[in-house]
Amino acid sequence: MAQEKSKPKNGVTAKDVKKIAKLSRLHVEADRLEPIAEDLNGILGWIEQLAEVDVEGVEPMTSAVDMAAPLRADNVSDGGKRDDVLKNAPKSDDGFFVVPRSVE
Amino acid sequence: MTDLTKMTLSGALDGMAKGEFSSVELTQAHIDACKASTKLNAFITDTHDLALEQAKASDARRASGTVGKLEGAPLGIKDLFCTEGVKTTAGSKILGDFTPTYESTVSANMKADGMVMLGKLNLDEFAMGSSNETSAFGPVINPWRKDEDLVPGGSSGGSASAVAADLCLGATATDTGGSIRQPASFTGTVGIKPTYGRCSRWGTVAFASSLDQAGPIAKTVKDSAILLESMAGYDAKDSTSINADVPDWSASCGQSVKGMRIGIPKEYAIDGMPADIQALWDQGIEWMKAAGAEIVPITLPHTKYALPAYYVVAPAEASSNLARYDGMRYGLRVDGKDLTETYELTRTEGFGDEVRRRIMIGTYVLSAGYYDAYYLRAQKVRTRIVQDFENAWETCDAILTPTAPSAAFAVGRKVSDPVQMYLNDIFTVTTNLAGLPGISVPAGLDKNGLPLGLQIIGRAMDEATVFKAAAALEDAAGFKAKPEKWWV
Amino acid sequence: MFIAPRVADEKDWIVTDTGPWEIIIGLEVHAQVASKSKLFSGSATGYGSAPNTQVSLVDAGMPGMLPVVNEFCIEQAVKTGYGLNAKINLFSRFDRKNYFYVDLPQGYQISQFEHPIVGEGEIEILPIDGDGNVGEPVTVGIERLHLEQDAGKSVHDLSPDETYVDLNRCGVALMEIVSKPDMRTPEEASAYVEKLRGIVRALGTCDGDMEKGNLRADVNVSVRRPGGELGTRCEIKNVNSMRFIRQAINFEARRHIDIIEAGGEIDQETRLFDSVKGETRTMRSKEDAHDYRYFPDPDLLPIKLEQSFVDKIKANLPEMPDVRKARFMSDYGLPEYDARILTSDKTKADFYEVVAKGRDPKIASNWTMVEFFGALNKSGLELEDSLVSADALGCLIDRILDDTISGKIAKGVFEKMFAGEGTADEIIERDGLKQVTDMGTIEAMVDKVIADNAGQAEKAKENPKLLGFFVGQVMKASQGKANPQAVNKILREKLGL
């Protein structure tokens, strides 16, 4: 089956993986950085065939429907459902979500 | 009494209308079938007690003269649709015991039409997969088994297996790159992804917002039309929902295709295509010709780039859509020494390998310095793919292609090579990128006796033509094969 | 590109041993849209509700929840765009700004990055120094205005090792107004914010309440040699009063100069202003800078406005502060100073126009600005909370003009009105303050005062300045109620002046 697989020209490095993982809030053990970089490069190398397409003057497509955003009237029609909002919270207290301390 | 689980949805609705059996009887028969099928692992959550209650209520409604479109029909719901009071997992550990306080618009529409819900169906984690092997709740097994366990396709593997194994009369599914049609092809069922915007996305766990679209998996083309009529409809809560009436699609099934122009895209004849699939496609062309359709060769030159474009767009959107699963407001929380570590542990333990892989790809293609080369370029390629179809519609009314490049494969065979796995969606992904309707119809068996599907693609909003062509194909193929019941 | 062609006036340079410096200032002002419901959901936006009671499943980022745009917020952004003399973009789009934070449930903020709803514009400001001297007008360029969601609130003092999160604010619509780096002094920066506040309040698009955080500024500061190459800038987040804006800029500029003069380099970073210490401190350094991965929100479609939609908004714009100021000068004949103060805020201007209706405009202006605004300032009350209405103040002025009371007595009456003791008429009646205009009564009082001070009366002929003494004595005897003109007239006659 048709399959083009090559190392991407500007492949990701272990350092890139570390950065991407940090941005994504994913933990990657140090010894996994290289293998993951290799894994991602396998996919990115295949994706790079997009460079062959002539996209000169082509508008990017951001939605599958060619419409303008519908606008809604400014009415208070929602909210007032604190119990629903907190129902699945791992921890809540006195109407608040309780989370690990976000400042030092 | 005949085996009620062998019935089609439309047959069962007729049977209940004629008073031949009740919803409770029909539902009980399906519950028994579900209980005997645990080896297939099609369901994540059973709601049998709830189903019987709903069936009783349905029988009462019918007695009082109120009959909805799906009145009393026992169906399955892919576990990507939020269901009020019933745990919803998206096939992931990260949602923990998340129990929505709300009902997705699609399942709410079906409830309003009298549906009986048997349970929540297994799927690839966050619908990311083509074999249902990425589910945190274990792989779904295809009822079409040959010597070894086969995958049902994905991501709607639970939906496809359950329908193929007669565990339910039909099921909801979702399709982001082929997740309805490819499993339908692998299991000898019918699956349609409608035009983007037909079914509301409100309350359905998002994978890639600009591509996700709900649709049914069913036993027949007509059943799929009946289900889609209930699922679809305008919803002001989804900004991308199309404000249009839902036509009587089941009436399109059985109409003549005389004079319909069927396009055959030469680019879909890929290198290395299995001979069985090429032969079936050729056979399909002959069937349509025999039914009075006109066959038109067409070209969709950017087909080859659809899949790589998809693997930029879908992970990019997913990386952002899945940021909300952070352990703060619902779902799994794995405590770390500080906030950052809690985020990281939660998301690392909560998400499986494939989901983490796609989040990282998506994060990378959107990050500073790479956006233009990857994301923006992919969006432009997407425009090219749409233009391909626009050109094609000048000479044809519908397009006939194979659904998938292979039949069902063995569990574990492709998991090690992501790109090889991604290629499963090579024929289906173009319609997601372009937002077009596509249906897979079971059309034959390969040399190993495994089902294969053919796909009909239509113009945006023209599901009527898609159903018409699909029903003609179904009629000509006369596909009646069923898997042996080895799992009971 | 960050270009700053204007060079500060020499008087605004900061001169040190190494020579002169000028400050380059740009502001990003966040103004909360005065909408009833949130930008993308139907929950309420009110202030001070119990935690998480104004939160929808959309705001909480529940699985499968989707945003739908609030039309009113779009209108307010367009209106404000017109108020900034800016280009309205008929095509705009919402993008996702991706980052993790506990008060950001979706894991991204919906904002506008590439295609904001409002493009370039400009406004004119009048900087006023600490002594109240008005400087030359300065034109400040507007880079853009875009709409975005506010985040929730993190509370850190309810538990020592946890954070409590309230999402009531989450999803409230904000207009982010980005200026060009066109300001050169702290005073210009605060005058700019004051001006913006006046504009949004005149338009009714934002209530401008800085105390509640409904209008707040991020301040970008850098220094350079006058007209020279631009320095590295730092962004000071969420400064929420005019005074703090000036303090923060002064501190930050000095900090930059000190570092550069000591041979150091400025790190481009995000800083916080500590209003207690009057200092800024590091919040986030460049190394921790986010990579926000903006991309078009696929849950939302582009905003495409019809020309007729924006034309209608334009046609119905209220009078803007600059136009109103010009009218106050031409129609009421007010001096520039009065017109500027009165029109700096819509509520103030509206108040004045009621007071001035059918009355002497200058007297109305004096009473509004000196007595009324003075009392507001002293009490810390907002105009909206004052117990004295414009009509009530007008009645008080009427009582002066119809000689019921003197201006001096009126000041006392006003204080009582401000304290909520009643209307001018009620207080005049209750306290018996009605001016004595009966000539006979006044004459008797004058006679008694002259008799009591016969020696002084003799001297008055040679020393007419003593008239003032006699007027004072008569007024004192009348407890201030005698008509001053009548007292003057009679005294002059009796003293033979």
How far does the CA of residue C65 sit from the closest CA of chain B (Å)?
A: 6
Domain-located, residue A64:
no
The CA R_g of chain B, rounded to the nearest whole Å, is 21
The residue to which tokens 């082509």 are assigned:
A58
CA distances for B75 relative to B103, B167, B202, C468, angstroms: 16, 9, 20, 102
Q: Which residues of chain C have pLDDT under 50?
A: 1
Task: State which residues of chain A have pLDDT below 50.
Answer: 1-5
CB burial string B175-208: b at 16+ within 10 A, e below: bbbbbbbbbbbbbbbbbbbbbbbbbbbbbbbbbb
Catalytic residue among B23, B155, B161, B200: B155
ipTM at complex level: 0.96
Q: Is residue A21 part of a domain?
A: yes
Q: Testing the interface with A: which of C36, C37, C39, C52 to mutate, by most A Cβ within 10 A?
A: C52
> How distant is the alpha carbon of residue C94 from its chain centre?
30
Q: How far is CA C7 from CA A90, B25, C4, C195, C228, in A?
A: 56, 86, 8, 22, 9
Q: Compute the distance between CA of residue B237 and CA of residue A72 in angstroms, rounded to an integer.
A: 10
Structure tokens at B162: 């359950």
- Concatenate the DSSP letters of all residues of C234-254 into one string: EEEEEE-SHHHHHHHHHHHHH
Indicate the residue of B82, B343, B367 with minimum beta-carbon distance to C293: B367
pLDDT in tens, A32-62: 999 999 999 999 999 999 999 999 999 999 8
Instruction: Look up B78 and say whether it is catalytic.
Output: yes
Range of the domain at A42: 1-53
Asked if A40 and B99 come within 8 Å (Cβ–Cβ), the reply is no
Fold (CATH) for B4-259: Amidase signature (AS) enzymes (3.90.1300)
Q: With contact defined as beta carbons under 8 Å apart, do B288 and B473 qualify?
A: yes
B131 has catalytic annotation: no
Residue A57 at interface with chain C, using a CB cutoff of 8 Å = no
Q: With an 8 Å Cβ cutoff, are B361 and A64 in contact?
A: no
Helix, strand or coil, per DSSP, at residue B283: helix
Q: A103 at the C interface (CB within 8 A)?
A: yes
**How far is B208 from chain A, CA to nearest CA, in Å?**
11
Dihedrals phi, psi of B300, to nearest 5 degrees? -125, 80
Angle between helices C186-203 and C321-331 (to 10 degrees): 90
Give me the residues of C, 141-160, that contact A with CB < 8 A.
154-156, 158-159
Please choose, from the candidates B185, B180, B186, the residue with its C-alpha nearest in 3D space to the C-alpha of residue B141: B186
Model confidence pLDDT, tens digit, residues C475-488? 888 888 888 888 88
Whether B210 and C298 lie within 8 Å, measured CB to CB:
yes
* Residues C228, C224: Cα–Cα separation, whole Å: 6
In this predicted structure, the answer to whether residue B301 has a pLDDT above a threshold of 80 is yes
| Distance in angstroms (rounded) separating the CA atoms of residues B108 and B175 | 19
A12 contacts in B (CB within 8 Å)?
A: 364
Chain B contact for C64, CB < 8 A? yes
Nearest CB to A88: which of B272, B330, B376? B330
- Asked if B230 is an active-site residue, the reply is no
R_g of chain C, CA atoms, integer Å: 29
Helix (H/G/I), strand (E/B), else coil: C152: coil
A61 and chain C: CB distance < 8 Å anywhere? Answer: no
Total residues belonging to chain C: 497
Contact yes or no for B310/B212 (Cβ under 8 A): no
CA–CA min distance A26, chain C (Å): 12
The pLDDT score that the predictor gives to residue B375 is: 96
Chain B positions in Cβ-Cβ contact with residue C107 (cut-off 8 Å): 320, 322-324, 326
b or e along A58-82 (b: 16 or more beta carbons within 10 Å of the residue's beta carbon)?
beebbbbbeeebbbbebebebbebb
Candidates B37, B179, B185, B224; catalytic one: B179
Residue from A22, A65, A66, A78 to probe the interface with C (highest C Cβ count within 10 Å): A78
C43 closest CB neighbour out of A70, A79, A103: A79
- Element (H or E) spanning B456, and its range? strand B451-458
Residues of C in contact with B98 (CB under 8 A): 63
Name the domain count of chain A: 1
Mean pLDDT in residue range B358-375 = 96
Amino acid at C457: A
In sequence order, the β-bridge partners of residue C447 are none
Report d(CA B381, CA C126) in Å as an integer: 51
Residue ranges of E strands in B110-157: 116-121
| Smallest Cα distance from A91 to chain B, Å | 8
State the Cα–Cα distance between residues C91 and C98, nearest whole angstrom.
23
pLDDT digit string, tens, across residues B134-192 = 999 999 999 998 789 999 999 999 999 999 999 999 999 999 999 999 999 999 999 99
Residue A88 is assigned to a structural domain of this protein: no
Rounded CA-CA distance B265/B456 in Å is: 12
What whole-number distance in Å separates Cα of residue B437 and Cα of residue B458? 6
Per-residue tokens: C110: 């919906």
Q: At what angle do helices C390-401 and C424-431 cross, to 10 degrees?
A: 50
Is there a cis peptide before residue B250, judged by omega within 30 degrees of 0? Answer: no
Contacts of B478 (CB under 8 A, 6+ apart): none
Distance from C313 to chain A by nearest Cα, in Å? 16
Tell me which long-range contacts B271-279 makes (C-beta under 8 A, separation of at least 24): B271/A1, B271/A2, B272/A1, B272/A2, B273/A1, B273/B402, B273/B405, B274/B405, B274/B406, B274/B407, B274/B446, B276/B407, B276/B446, B276/B447, B276/B452, B277/B402, B277/B405, B277/B406, B277/B446, B277/B452, B278/B402
The answer to whether the CB of A20 falls within 8 A of the CB of B360 is yes
Q: How far apart are CA C217 and CA C406, in angstroms?
A: 46
Q: Which of B22, B78, B130, B200 is catalytic?
A: B78
Q: Under a CB-based contact definition with an 8 Å cutoff, are residues C180 and C143 in contact?
A: yes
Q: Is residue A47 part of a domain?
A: yes
Q: How many helices (H) and strands (E) does chain A have?
A: 3, 3
Residue among C164, C149, C161, C158 at smallest CA distance from C108: C149
Residue pairs between chains A and C whose CB atoms are closer than 8 Å: 144
Task: Supply the angle between the helices C186-203 and C242-261 in degrees, to the nearest 10.
Answer: 150
Q: What is the DSSP string of C97-142?
A: EE---TT-TTSEEEE-SSS-SB--EEEEE--B-TT--B---EEEEE
Domain map (residue ranges) of chain B = 4-259, 303-380
CB atoms A103 and C156 under 8 Å: yes
Q: Which residue of C lies nearest to A101 if distances are taken between CA atoms?
A: C162
Q: Reply yes or no on whether the pLDDT at B227 is more than 80.
A: yes
Does the beta-carbon distance from A46 to B419 stay under 8 Å? yes
C439-495: CATH topology is Arc Repressor Mutant, subunit A (1.10.10)
Residue of chain A nearest B316, judged by CA positions: A24
Contact C175, C30 (CB under 8 A): yes
Min distance C193 CA to chain A CA atoms (Å):
27
Residue-wise pLDDT for B400-453, tens only, equals: 999 999 999 999 987 778 888 898 999 999 999 999 999 999 999 999 999 999
Closest CA to B484 of B125, B142, B202: B142
Are B204 and C65 within 8 A, CB to CB? no
Q: Averaged over B356-365, what is the pLDDT? A: 97
Q: Which of C63, C69, C295 lies nearest to residue B82, judging by beta carbons? A: C63
For residue C395, give both structure tokens: 């009645």
Strands (E), B177-232: 190-193, 213-218
Report if residue A66 sits inside a domain: no
Do residues C452 and C463 lie in contact, with contact meaning Cβ atoms separated by under 8 Å? no
How many whole angstroms separate alpha carbon C182 and alpha carbon C180? 5
